[in-house]
Structure 1
Protein backbone atom coordinates (compact mmCIF):
# COMPACT_ATOMS: atom_id res chain seq x y z
CA UNK A 1 0.00 0.00 0.00
CA UNK A 2 2.91 2.37 0.61
CA UNK A 3 4.35 4.23 -2.36
CA UNK A 4 7.83 5.58 -2.91
CA UNK A 5 8.20 8.84 -1.02
CA UNK A 6 4.88 8.34 0.77
CA UNK A 7 3.94 7.43 4.32
CA UNK A 8 1.20 5.08 5.55
CA UNK A 9 0.10 5.51 9.17
CA UNK A 10 -2.06 2.72 10.60
CA UNK A 11 -3.92 4.00 13.67
CA UNK A 12 -5.89 1.54 15.81
CA UNK A 13 -7.98 1.71 18.96
CA UNK A 14 -7.19 -0.42 22.01
CA UNK A 15 -9.15 -3.60 22.72
CA UNK A 16 -12.31 -4.02 24.78
CA UNK A 17 -12.41 -3.03 28.46
CA UNK A 18 -15.03 -3.52 31.18
CA UNK A 19 -15.78 0.20 31.04
CA UNK A 20 -16.42 -0.08 27.30
CA UNK A 21 -18.99 -2.78 28.04
CA UNK A 22 -20.55 -0.65 30.79
CA UNK A 23 -20.42 2.42 28.50
CA UNK A 24 -18.46 4.47 30.98
CA UNK A 25 -16.27 7.39 30.02
CA UNK A 26 -12.70 6.12 30.45
CA UNK A 27 -10.67 9.12 29.42
CA UNK A 28 -7.26 9.00 31.03
CA UNK A 29 -8.15 6.42 33.69
CA UNK A 30 -5.82 3.45 33.35
CA UNK A 31 -8.44 0.75 32.74
CA UNK A 32 -7.07 -2.67 31.63
CA UNK A 33 -8.39 -4.85 28.82
CA UNK A 34 -11.32 -7.14 29.59
CA UNK A 35 -9.93 -10.63 29.12
CA UNK A 36 -10.75 -13.03 27.60
CA UNK A 37 -13.61 -11.03 26.04
CA UNK A 38 -11.24 -8.72 24.17
CA UNK A 39 -9.29 -11.55 22.55
CA UNK A 40 -11.39 -12.34 19.40
CA UNK A 41 -11.21 -8.77 18.08
CA UNK A 42 -7.52 -8.52 19.02
CA UNK A 43 -6.80 -11.76 17.17
CA UNK A 44 -8.53 -10.42 14.06
CA UNK A 45 -6.47 -7.23 14.23
CA UNK A 46 -3.26 -9.21 14.83
CA UNK A 47 -3.93 -11.39 11.77
CA UNK A 48 -4.58 -8.33 9.63
CA UNK A 49 -1.40 -6.59 10.78
CA UNK A 50 0.69 -9.72 10.25
CA UNK A 51 -0.50 -9.99 6.67
CA UNK A 52 0.11 -6.28 6.16
CA UNK A 53 3.65 -6.52 7.57
CA UNK A 54 4.47 -9.48 5.36
CA UNK A 55 4.77 -6.94 2.52
CA UNK A 56 6.93 -4.54 4.56
CA UNK A 57 7.44 -4.34 8.35
CA UNK A 58 6.51 -1.21 10.29
CA UNK A 59 9.36 1.27 10.47
CA UNK A 60 8.13 2.68 13.78
CA UNK A 61 5.49 1.92 16.41
CA UNK A 62 3.80 4.46 18.69
CA UNK A 63 1.49 3.78 21.62
CA UNK A 64 -0.41 5.73 24.23
CA UNK A 65 1.21 5.13 27.61
CA UNK A 66 -2.05 3.84 29.15
CA UNK A 67 -2.12 0.13 29.95
CA UNK A 68 -4.98 -0.86 27.65
CA UNK A 69 -3.01 0.37 24.65
CA UNK A 70 0.20 -1.28 25.79
CA UNK A 71 -1.69 -4.58 26.29
CA UNK A 72 -3.24 -4.26 22.85
CA UNK A 73 0.13 -3.65 21.25
CA UNK A 74 1.69 -6.64 23.00
CA UNK A 75 -1.10 -8.86 21.67
CA UNK A 76 -1.10 -7.69 18.06
CA UNK A 77 2.71 -7.74 17.81
CA UNK A 78 3.07 -11.02 19.69
CA UNK A 79 6.36 -12.61 18.70
CA UNK A 80 7.51 -9.47 16.88
CA UNK A 81 7.80 -7.02 19.76
CA UNK A 82 11.53 -6.58 19.25
CA UNK A 83 11.35 -5.94 15.50
CA UNK A 84 10.70 -2.20 15.79
CA UNK A 85 11.50 0.38 18.46
CA UNK A 86 8.45 1.40 20.49
CA UNK A 87 7.73 5.08 21.14
CA UNK A 88 5.52 5.38 24.24
CA UNK A 89 3.67 8.66 23.81
CA UNK A 90 1.50 10.32 26.52
CA UNK A 91 0.18 12.78 23.91
CA UNK A 92 -1.71 9.85 22.36
CA UNK A 93 -3.87 9.46 25.48
CA UNK A 94 -7.64 9.73 25.28
CA UNK A 95 -9.22 13.12 25.90
CA UNK A 96 -9.33 13.94 29.61
CA UNK A 97 -13.03 13.79 30.52
CA UNK A 98 -12.43 15.18 33.99
CA UNK A 99 -15.39 14.80 36.33
CA UNK A 100 -17.23 12.64 33.76
CA UNK A 101 -14.71 9.79 33.88
CA UNK A 102 -16.21 6.63 35.33
CA UNK A 103 -19.74 7.82 34.62
CA UNK A 104 -22.31 6.68 32.04
CA UNK A 105 -24.67 8.69 29.85
CA UNK A 106 -27.59 7.94 32.18
CA UNK A 107 -25.62 9.41 35.09
CA UNK A 108 -25.05 12.67 33.22
CA UNK A 109 -27.84 13.19 30.69
CA UNK A 110 -29.88 15.58 32.83
CA UNK A 111 -26.98 17.89 33.67
CA UNK A 112 -27.09 21.14 31.63
CA UNK A 113 -23.29 21.36 31.64
CA UNK A 114 -23.04 17.85 30.18
CA UNK A 115 -25.59 18.65 27.47
CA UNK A 116 -23.63 21.79 26.57
CA UNK A 117 -20.44 19.74 26.31
CA UNK A 118 -22.08 17.21 23.98
CA UNK A 119 -23.68 19.93 21.85
CA UNK A 120 -20.33 21.70 21.48
CA UNK A 121 -18.67 18.49 20.20
CA UNK A 122 -16.25 18.76 23.08
CA UNK A 123 -15.14 22.31 22.30
CA UNK A 124 -16.37 23.29 25.74
CA UNK A 125 -14.21 21.42 28.24
CA UNK A 126 -15.96 19.17 30.78
CA UNK A 127 -15.52 20.07 34.46
CA UNK A 128 -11.86 19.47 35.42
CA UNK A 129 -11.26 18.06 31.92
CA UNK A 130 -9.83 18.87 28.51
CA UNK A 131 -11.33 20.74 25.58
CA UNK A 132 -11.23 19.54 21.98
CA UNK A 133 -8.84 22.42 21.24
CA UNK A 134 -6.41 21.13 23.87
CA UNK A 135 -6.65 17.61 22.39
CA UNK A 136 -5.95 19.01 18.92
CA UNK A 137 -2.94 20.96 20.18
CA UNK A 138 -1.20 17.92 21.67
CA UNK A 139 -2.03 15.75 18.65
CA UNK A 140 -0.77 18.42 16.25
CA UNK A 141 2.53 18.61 18.14
CA UNK A 142 2.91 14.83 18.15
CA UNK A 143 2.02 14.49 14.46
CA UNK A 144 4.46 17.20 13.40
CA UNK A 145 7.22 15.29 15.19
CA UNK A 146 6.10 12.04 13.54
CA UNK A 147 6.33 13.59 10.07
CA UNK A 148 9.76 15.06 10.84
CA UNK A 149 11.01 11.65 12.02
CA UNK A 150 9.50 9.95 8.96
CA UNK A 151 11.42 12.30 6.69
CA UNK A 152 14.65 12.01 8.66
CA UNK A 153 14.62 8.21 8.74
CA UNK A 154 12.82 7.50 5.43
CA UNK A 155 9.93 5.74 7.20
CA UNK A 156 7.15 4.42 5.00
CA UNK A 157 4.97 2.55 7.49
CA UNK A 158 4.04 3.48 11.05
CA UNK A 159 1.70 1.76 13.53
CA UNK A 160 -0.10 3.76 16.23
CA UNK A 161 -2.18 2.31 19.10
CA UNK A 162 -4.39 4.89 20.77
CA UNK A 163 -7.97 5.72 21.84
CA UNK A 164 -11.36 6.35 20.29
CA UNK A 165 -11.40 10.12 20.82
CA UNK A 166 -7.96 10.50 19.29
CA UNK A 167 -9.05 8.59 16.19
CA UNK A 168 -12.24 10.67 15.96
CA UNK A 169 -10.15 13.84 15.94
CA UNK A 170 -7.70 12.51 13.35
CA UNK A 171 -10.57 11.42 11.11
CA UNK A 172 -12.16 14.86 11.46
CA UNK A 173 -8.88 16.38 10.37
CA UNK A 174 -7.86 14.04 7.57
CA UNK A 175 -11.23 12.78 6.29
CA UNK A 176 -13.16 16.04 6.76
CA UNK A 177 -16.04 14.35 8.58
CA UNK A 178 -18.02 15.38 11.62
CA UNK A 179 -16.32 14.56 14.94
CA UNK A 180 -19.22 12.37 16.07
CA UNK A 181 -19.15 10.41 12.78
CA UNK A 182 -15.55 9.33 13.30
CA UNK A 183 -16.07 6.53 15.81
CA UNK A 184 -14.36 3.15 15.44
CA UNK A 185 -14.89 -0.01 17.48
CA UNK A 186 -12.34 -1.50 19.84
CA UNK A 187 -9.37 -3.18 18.07
CA UNK A 188 -10.26 -1.36 14.84
CA UNK A 189 -9.04 1.83 13.23
CA UNK A 190 -7.98 3.58 10.05
CA UNK A 191 -5.09 3.54 7.60
CA UNK A 192 -4.04 6.99 6.33
CA UNK A 193 -1.84 7.56 3.30
CA UNK A 194 0.26 10.74 3.14
CA UNK A 195 2.24 12.26 0.30
CA UNK A 196 4.41 15.35 0.26
CA UNK A 197 3.44 17.84 -2.41
CA UNK A 198 4.78 21.38 -2.81
CA UNK A 199 6.63 21.07 0.49
CA UNK A 200 3.62 19.98 2.59
CA UNK A 201 2.32 16.59 3.69
CA UNK A 202 -1.24 15.87 2.58
CA UNK A 203 -3.54 12.94 3.37
CA UNK A 204 -4.40 11.39 0.01
CA UNK A 205 -6.50 8.39 1.10
CA UNK A 206 -7.81 6.43 4.07
CA UNK A 207 -9.31 3.00 4.64
CA UNK A 208 -10.76 0.81 7.41
CA UNK A 209 -8.58 -1.41 9.63
CA UNK A 210 -9.01 -4.34 9.61
CA UNK A 211 -10.38 -4.27 6.07
CA UNK A 212 -14.05 -5.34 5.92
CA UNK A 213 -14.49 -9.02 5.09
CA UNK A 214 -16.31 -8.10 1.87
CA UNK A 215 -13.23 -6.20 0.69
CA UNK A 216 -11.24 -9.41 0.41
Structure 2
Protein backbone atom coordinates (compact mmCIF):
# COMPACT_ATOMS: atom_id res chain seq x y z
CA UNK A 1 0.00 0.00 0.00
CA UNK A 2 1.31 3.44 -0.89
CA UNK A 3 2.31 5.75 1.91
CA UNK A 4 -0.01 8.56 2.84
CA UNK A 5 -3.56 8.91 4.09
CA UNK A 6 -6.80 8.92 2.12
CA UNK A 7 -10.06 9.76 3.90
CA UNK A 8 -13.47 9.21 2.26
CA UNK A 9 -16.41 11.02 3.88
CA UNK A 10 -19.97 9.94 3.00
CA UNK A 11 -23.22 11.36 4.35
CA UNK A 12 -25.94 8.92 5.34
CA UNK A 13 -29.06 8.40 3.20
CA UNK A 14 -31.97 10.74 3.91
CA UNK A 15 -34.33 10.30 6.85
CA UNK A 16 -37.87 11.65 7.08
CA UNK A 17 -36.55 14.60 9.12
CA UNK A 18 -34.03 15.39 6.35
CA UNK A 19 -36.85 15.32 3.82
CA UNK A 20 -38.92 17.65 6.00
CA UNK A 21 -35.89 19.95 6.51
CA UNK A 22 -35.84 19.49 10.28
CA UNK A 23 -32.80 19.80 12.51
CA UNK A 24 -31.94 16.20 13.33
CA UNK A 25 -29.00 15.62 15.62
CA UNK A 26 -29.12 12.81 18.17
CA UNK A 27 -32.67 11.66 17.34
CA UNK A 28 -32.15 8.08 16.17
CA UNK A 29 -34.34 8.07 13.07
CA UNK A 30 -33.96 5.40 10.35
CA UNK A 31 -33.29 6.12 6.69
CA UNK A 32 -36.34 6.39 4.45
CA UNK A 33 -35.43 3.57 2.11
CA UNK A 34 -32.87 0.79 1.85
CA UNK A 35 -30.99 1.11 -1.45
CA UNK A 36 -28.27 -0.52 -3.49
CA UNK A 37 -25.33 1.62 -4.51
CA UNK A 38 -22.42 1.51 -6.92
CA UNK A 39 -19.33 3.08 -5.40
CA UNK A 40 -15.85 3.67 -6.82
CA UNK A 41 -14.30 2.51 -3.53
CA UNK A 42 -14.31 -0.87 -1.80
CA UNK A 43 -12.97 -0.40 1.73
CA UNK A 44 -11.95 -3.24 4.03
CA UNK A 45 -13.65 -1.53 6.96
CA UNK A 46 -15.99 1.42 7.47
CA UNK A 47 -16.20 3.82 10.42
CA UNK A 48 -19.01 6.14 11.41
CA UNK A 49 -21.61 7.39 13.83
CA UNK A 50 -23.45 4.95 16.08
CA UNK A 51 -26.87 6.31 15.04
CA UNK A 52 -28.92 3.98 12.90
CA UNK A 53 -29.10 6.22 9.84
CA UNK A 54 -25.33 5.80 9.46
CA UNK A 55 -25.31 2.07 10.29
CA UNK A 56 -28.13 1.45 7.79
CA UNK A 57 -26.46 3.48 5.05
CA UNK A 58 -23.17 1.65 5.55
CA UNK A 59 -25.06 -1.66 5.31
CA UNK A 60 -26.61 -0.52 2.00
CA UNK A 61 -23.42 0.89 0.48
CA UNK A 62 -20.94 -1.69 1.82
CA UNK A 63 -22.98 -4.81 2.69
CA UNK A 64 -19.93 -7.09 3.07
CA UNK A 65 -17.77 -4.66 5.04
CA UNK A 66 -17.39 -4.50 8.85
CA UNK A 67 -18.72 -1.27 10.37
CA UNK A 68 -17.18 0.30 13.48
CA UNK A 69 -19.52 2.70 15.28
CA UNK A 70 -18.19 5.68 17.24
CA UNK A 71 -20.47 7.86 19.37
CA UNK A 72 -18.09 10.83 19.06
CA UNK A 73 -18.91 11.02 15.34
CA UNK A 74 -22.55 11.91 15.94
CA UNK A 75 -24.18 15.01 14.50
CA UNK A 76 -24.43 18.19 16.59
CA UNK A 77 -26.86 17.87 19.49
CA UNK A 78 -29.49 20.47 18.56
CA UNK A 79 -31.08 20.51 22.02
CA UNK A 80 -34.27 22.58 22.03
CA UNK A 81 -34.05 23.00 18.23
CA UNK A 82 -34.07 19.24 17.63
CA UNK A 83 -36.68 17.99 15.10
CA UNK A 84 -37.86 21.55 14.41
CA UNK A 85 -37.89 23.40 11.08
CA UNK A 86 -36.73 26.92 10.34
CA UNK A 87 -40.38 27.97 10.00
CA UNK A 88 -41.13 26.71 13.51
CA UNK A 89 -38.13 28.49 15.03
CA UNK A 90 -37.80 31.68 12.99
CA UNK A 91 -39.33 33.97 15.63
CA UNK A 92 -37.32 32.49 18.51
CA UNK A 93 -34.73 35.10 19.58
CA UNK A 94 -32.17 32.53 20.75
CA UNK A 95 -32.52 30.63 17.48
CA UNK A 96 -32.06 33.81 15.46
CA UNK A 97 -28.91 34.62 17.46
CA UNK A 98 -27.62 31.09 16.82
CA UNK A 99 -28.33 31.37 13.07
CA UNK A 100 -26.41 34.67 12.97
CA UNK A 101 -23.46 33.32 14.97
CA UNK A 102 -23.55 29.52 15.44
CA UNK A 103 -19.90 29.36 16.47
CA UNK A 104 -20.36 31.30 19.71
CA UNK A 105 -24.10 31.12 20.48
CA UNK A 106 -24.95 28.02 22.54
CA UNK A 107 -28.05 25.95 21.79
CA UNK A 108 -30.34 25.61 24.83
CA UNK A 109 -30.00 22.05 26.19
CA UNK A 110 -27.73 21.19 23.25
CA UNK A 111 -24.06 21.42 22.35
CA UNK A 112 -21.96 24.47 21.69
CA UNK A 113 -20.08 24.46 18.40
CA UNK A 114 -16.80 24.18 20.33
CA UNK A 115 -18.04 21.06 22.17
CA UNK A 116 -19.16 19.55 18.86
CA UNK A 117 -15.85 20.35 17.18
CA UNK A 118 -13.75 18.94 20.01
CA UNK A 119 -15.81 15.75 20.17
CA UNK A 120 -15.74 15.07 16.42
CA UNK A 121 -12.04 15.84 15.98
CA UNK A 122 -11.18 13.64 18.95
CA UNK A 123 -13.19 10.74 17.50
CA UNK A 124 -11.70 11.26 14.03
CA UNK A 125 -8.11 11.39 15.31
CA UNK A 126 -8.62 8.27 17.44
CA UNK A 127 -9.35 6.36 14.22
CA UNK A 128 -7.00 8.01 11.70
CA UNK A 129 -3.66 7.41 13.40
CA UNK A 130 -1.49 5.84 10.70
CA UNK A 131 -1.04 5.82 6.94
CA UNK A 132 -3.81 4.08 5.00
CA UNK A 133 -7.32 4.47 3.55
CA UNK A 134 -10.24 5.35 5.81
CA UNK A 135 -13.94 5.43 4.91
CA UNK A 136 -16.53 7.17 7.10
CA UNK A 137 -20.33 7.18 6.92
CA UNK A 138 -21.35 10.13 9.05
CA UNK A 139 -23.61 13.20 9.28
CA UNK A 140 -23.71 16.41 7.27
CA UNK A 141 -22.41 18.54 10.13
CA UNK A 142 -19.51 16.17 10.78
CA UNK A 143 -18.47 16.27 7.12
CA UNK A 144 -18.77 20.07 6.98
CA UNK A 145 -16.62 20.38 10.10
CA UNK A 146 -13.90 18.11 8.69
CA UNK A 147 -13.96 19.84 5.29
CA UNK A 148 -13.73 23.27 6.92
CA UNK A 149 -10.68 22.14 8.89
CA UNK A 150 -8.87 19.95 6.36
CA UNK A 151 -9.99 20.69 2.78
CA UNK A 152 -7.49 22.20 0.32
CA UNK A 153 -9.37 25.49 0.13
CA UNK A 154 -9.74 27.49 3.33
CA UNK A 155 -13.44 27.81 4.12
CA UNK A 156 -15.63 28.34 7.15
CA UNK A 157 -18.11 25.80 8.50
CA UNK A 158 -20.96 27.97 7.18
CA UNK A 159 -19.42 28.01 3.69
CA UNK A 160 -19.15 24.23 3.40
CA UNK A 161 -21.85 21.86 2.20
CA UNK A 162 -22.27 18.11 2.56
CA UNK A 163 -24.70 16.53 0.12
CA UNK A 164 -26.21 13.09 0.26
CA UNK A 165 -24.86 10.47 -2.19
CA UNK A 166 -21.48 12.14 -2.58
CA UNK A 167 -18.02 10.88 -1.61
CA UNK A 168 -15.72 13.61 -0.33
CA UNK A 169 -12.10 12.41 -0.59
CA UNK A 170 -9.13 14.05 1.13
CA UNK A 171 -5.50 12.93 0.78
CA UNK A 172 -2.33 13.74 2.72
CA UNK A 173 1.24 12.70 2.03
CA UNK A 174 1.70 11.31 5.53
CA UNK A 175 -0.07 10.87 8.84
CA UNK A 176 2.26 13.50 10.32
CA UNK A 177 0.71 16.15 8.05
CA UNK A 178 -2.77 15.28 9.28
CA UNK A 179 -1.75 15.08 12.94
CA UNK A 180 -0.01 18.44 12.52
CA UNK A 181 -3.32 19.95 11.42
CA UNK A 182 -2.27 20.59 7.83
CA UNK A 183 -4.86 20.81 5.07
CA UNK A 184 -5.04 17.92 2.63
CA UNK A 185 -2.94 18.05 -0.54
CA UNK A 186 -5.55 16.46 -2.83
CA UNK A 187 -9.33 16.79 -2.73
CA UNK A 188 -12.11 15.37 -4.90
CA UNK A 189 -15.84 14.68 -4.94
CA UNK A 190 -17.59 11.74 -6.60
CA UNK A 191 -21.27 10.98 -7.08
CA UNK A 192 -22.75 7.77 -5.66
CA UNK A 193 -25.05 5.97 -8.10
CA UNK A 194 -28.00 4.47 -6.23
CA UNK A 195 -30.67 1.95 -7.24
CA UNK A 196 -33.83 2.66 -5.24
CA UNK A 197 -35.89 -0.08 -6.93
CA UNK A 198 -35.10 -2.97 -4.64
Common fold, TM-score beyond 0.5? Answer: yes
> Aligned pairs, how many?
187
Aligned partner of 1:174 in structure 2 is 150
- Inter-partner Cα distance in structure 1 for 2:111 and 2:59: 29
Aligned partner of 2:83 in structure 1 is 102
Aligned pair 1:200/2:184, yes or no? no
Q: 2:164 aligned to 160, 171, 186, which one?
A: 186
Give runs of ≥4 in structure 1 deviating > 4 Å. Answer: none
Deviation (angstroms), 1:129: 0.5
Residue segments in structure 2 that go unaligned for 5+ positions in a row? 194-198
TM-score (norm 2): 0.86
Aligned partner of 1:65 in structure 2 is 50
The answer to which structure has the higher helix fraction is: 1
TM-score (norm 1): 0.79
- Inter-partner Cα distance in structure 2 for 1:11 and 1:97: 22
Residue segments in structure 1 that go unaligned for 5+ positions in a row? none
Deviations 1:6-52 (CA, angstroms, capped at 9, x unpaired): 1111011100111111111111100111126xx3xxx4xx312xx32
Deviation (angstroms), 1:116: 0.8
Q: CA RMSD in A?
A: 2.0
Moved more, 156-165 or 3-12: 3-12
- Inter-partner Cα distance in structure 2 for 1:8 and 1:183: 20
Aligned pair 1:209/2:190, yes or no? yes
- 8 Å Cα contact 2:165/2:192 also seen in 1: no
